[in-house]
Amino acid sequence: MTTQQGFGRQLGTAAGPVNLTVVIGAAGEEVQKDYVVTAPTHLMRAWRLLTAVNEELHAEGADDAEAHRAAMVFNVLRHEVINSVSPALAEEMRELLPPLDENSGIAGTRASCSAALGWLDGLMTSSIPT
């Protein structure tokens, strides 16, 4: 018997956890199977960490050293997101949000983090569990 518990809790059976795939789209819409989240917990963790990075970048006193660190964290989280979604969504992410380089300034890093959060917000609010 598989049970679905509250948001953020594990789905599983007495034998162990069950894989969960989240299809993108609103209830009642024709579902496009190419647009799925294959690792929702990884995606949510990356989303939360990216939110924290974005908040740090917008804090008073953020400097180029902070921007450099944030750019490197952004790249790791970007990779995590790409590995947490279907190939079609991963390609969209790659096209819309290229990786940052070590020379990314604070404004560019802020813009990339904000754009990634916007993309993730849209993805998360249009997802329905299957």
pLDDT by residue (tens digit) across 55-101?
999 888 888 889 999 999 999 999 999 999 999 999 999 999 999 99
Residue 27 · residue 16 · CB < 8 Å? no
Instruction: Give the mean pLDDT of the chain.
Output: 79
Cα four-point dihedral sign 80, 87, 40, 18: negative
105 and 62 Cβ atoms separated by less than 8 Å: no
Whether 20 has a pLDDT exceeding 70, the answer reads no
Q: Is 27 exposed, middle or buried (0-12, 13-18, 19+ CB in 10 A)?
A: exposed
Rounded CA-CA distance 130/117 in Å is 24
